[in-house]
Each structure stands twice: as C-alpha cells, then as structure tokens.
C-alpha cells in the first residue's frame, strides 16, 4: 500500500499528500475525488495505488468502447478504462491532458481515465446516501456523498469492470459438486443461518448464488453494517455465521466485526471479511477486530471452504460445551 498519492496542482507540478490511516471502529475511510465533465466522483483510497499523467495506450481489438486498450506502468501491463466513455460523459479535457488513476482491487490492477483529480477526503460512513441508487442514478452509482454544497458520486467499480470485461465474471464460477464435497460432513445445511452484508447488489447476488450452489439456502442479505447489527441484535434471531464486506454506509464491515466480537451474546458467531481490498494494512485491521476469516472477492471458491471449516469448528465447540 502506498504511503501517499500523487496529485497534480494547477501548475502541473506533482505533490505528495500522505494518506492518513483511519482507526478501526471509527466508521471513517478516505476517498480520492476526481472529475468527469462537470461532475465529481470518488473512489476509495484503499483501491488506489497512484495517479499519473496520460500514459499513452495501445488499443485492444474487439473490446468494449470504454476499454481504451493497455498501457505499461512500472513494467506492468494494465488495462485502461475511460470512465467518461463508460458513463457517456463529454470529456472536459483532451485525452493527452487526462489523468490515470491506477487501482488495485479484486487481485487485479487497472487504470481509470478521468478528466482530473482533486484531493483526498476523509468521510464518515453515515455521509453515504443510497436512496437514489438503482433508480434515478442507475446501477453504476452506489452512493452520493454530500460535501461542501455539492454531490460526489461513489461508483460501483466492481460492476463497471465486469461490464467492460464480461470474461472476468468467469473468475466467480464455482463447481457445485466440489462445493458439496467440502461441506458434506455438516449434514443438513439448511440448519445453518448465514447473514451476508454487502452493499453492491451485483456482489450480494453473487455471494447468495454461490452459497446456494454449495447447499446453503438459509441465507439473509442486507446492504450495510447497521442493518446487519440490527438483525444480529434481535434476540429472536440466531445466526450461525456472518460474511461481510468492508466499505459500506452507516456502519463499515470492520466496525461491525468489532461490535460482534465485543458482544457477550454474539462473539461466538464466526465472521468472514469478504472484500475486494485485502492489502496488508486491511488484513491487520480485520485480524485486530477478531475476524475469523479473510477472503478476497475473486477467491470465491475459498468462501465455501472457509464457511465449511468455521461452521464445523463451531459445531465441535458447541458439542464440547
């Protein structure tokens, strides 16, 4: 993880802005704000590696219109996706004046081409408004961040990448028979109640589908940590395992995990952190709050393995008690 992110000043000079690490449990995280046309957008700092001037590009035949091609950054070949083309926004600058946000998530690196990069904002999860998501704002926008009398849009980057390159969806494919073998010794899988906490509708459905293929049908899904905490706090409900994303509104996944593990009634529930961001500092944070498993989203086959192991371990502990 880089200690800082390069920014361009009006004069064109590169400056460094050190990334301030947020404490676990504060519900705070940081975003890089950038522009497309006259609209501001944001991406999580933990997804961002560096910001570059225009790198040049080599076209790739038969690709999505937003897929400009490939470029080389520090010896690595990465794809370039023009977010202006993808979102049908007229560029405010020429391609040569564009900036490239180099990102890394879901175990892959790629560059997003944008008009310009503004600054880093520290935000609170409660600032994320999802009331217009999926309706007026469409499926590409997860949240609106209200800041300084303007609206900043936080995009669903995982969805965008899969739309631009549908072949990536294949990395989430799993073998149903293999999954059944992994959990066969658990017996009737419908006796286990699993809570999935994920803000991306695409990934939420994907997790539910994979769990169903593995034989787990008693699954409930919510879109943020606060909703999950409310369900867990309901004394009439008993969940056997929680699968949670990290970056979410109202309450993030690390805060949720911390609260679960500090609660006398709930601390026995295994928690798997299932995120697109698994840099070393994120792994350390997840471990510090008591997460029982940590899996990066493309490794979805490992999700069933981890679910099976943790449920088996819990059963053994219950029998001994």
- What residue has token string 């449990």? 25
Q: Which residue has the higher pLDDT, 66 or 27?
A: 66
User: For residues 166 and 270, what is the distance between their CA atoms, to the nearest angstrom?
Assistant: 33
- What local confidence, expressed as pLDDT, does residue 166 receive? 82
Per-residue pLDDT for 219 more than 90? yes
- What local confidence, expressed as pLDDT, does residue 168 receive? 65
Q: DSSP label at 58?
A: B
Per-residue pLDDT for 214 more than 70? yes
Residues in a beta bridge with 41: 34, 153
Q: DSSP label at 215?
A: T
Average pLDDT for the chain: 84
- What local confidence, expressed as pLDDT, does residue 136 receive? 76
Burial-class residue 305 by CB neighbours within 10 Å (0-12, 13-18, 19+): middle
Q: Which two tokens stand for residue 174?
A: 């799993």
Mean pLDDT in residue range 83-104: 96
Residues in a beta bridge with 5: 17
Give SS3 for 284. Answer: helix
Residues in a beta bridge with 154: 42, 143
Per-residue pLDDT for 273 more than 90? yes
- In the chain, what is the greatest distance between 2 CA atoms, to the nearest angstrom? 68
Domains parsed from the chain with CATH numbers: 4-167 (2.40.50.180), 173-320 (3.40.50.2300)
- What local confidence, expressed as pLDDT, does residue 130 receive? 79
Closest CA to 133 of 124, 123, 144, 125: 144
Question: Which pLDDT band holds residue 83 (cuts at 50, 70, 90)?
Answer: very high
Burial-class residue 256 by CB neighbours within 10 Å (0-12, 13-18, 19+): buried
User: What backbone torsions phi and psi does residue 209 show, to the nearest 5 degrees?
Assistant: -65, -45
Q: Which residue has the higher pLDDT, 305 or 174?
A: 305
Tens digits of residue pLDDT in 253-271: 999 999 999 999 999 999 9
């Amino acid at each position: 993880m880089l200690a800082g992110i390069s920014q361009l000043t009006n004069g064109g000079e590169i400056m460094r802005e050190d990334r301030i690490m947020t404490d676990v449990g504060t519900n705070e995280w940081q975003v890089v704000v950038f522009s497309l046309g006259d609209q501001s957008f944001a991406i999580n700092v933990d997804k961002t590696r560096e910001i570059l001037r225009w790198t040049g590009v080599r076209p790739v035949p038969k690709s999505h219109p937003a897929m400009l091609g490939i470029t080389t950054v520090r010896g690595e070949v990465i794809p370039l996706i023009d977010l202006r083309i993808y979102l049908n926004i007229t560029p405010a600058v020429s391609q040569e004046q564009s900036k490239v946000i180099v990102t890394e998530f879901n175990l892959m690196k790629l560059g997003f081409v944008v008009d310009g990069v503004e600054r880093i904002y520290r935000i609170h999860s409660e600032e994320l408004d999802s009331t217009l998501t999926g309706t007026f704002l469409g499926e590409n926008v997860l949240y609106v961040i209200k800041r300084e009398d303007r609206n900043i849009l936080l995009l669903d980057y995982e969805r965008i990448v899969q739309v631009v390159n549908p072949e990536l969806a294949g990395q989430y494919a799993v073998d149903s028979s293999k999954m059944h073998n992994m959990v066969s010794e658990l017996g009737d899988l419908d006796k286990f109640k699993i809570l999935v906490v994920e803000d991306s509708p695409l990934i939420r459905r994907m997790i539910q589908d994979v769990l169903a293929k593995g034989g787990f049908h008693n699954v409930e899904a919510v879109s943020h940590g606060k909703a999950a905490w409310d369900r867990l706090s309901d004394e009439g409900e008993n969940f056997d395992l929680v699968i949670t994303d990290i970056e979410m509104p109202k309450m993030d996944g690390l805060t949720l995990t911390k609260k679960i593990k500090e609660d006398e009634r709930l601390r026995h529930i295994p928690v798997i952190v299932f995120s697109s961001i698994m840099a070393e500092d994120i792994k350390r944070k997840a471990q510090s709050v008591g997460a029982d498993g940590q899996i990066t989203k493309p490794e979805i086959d490992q999700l069933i393995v981890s679910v099976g192991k943790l449920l088996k371990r819990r059963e053994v502990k219950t029998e001994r008690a």
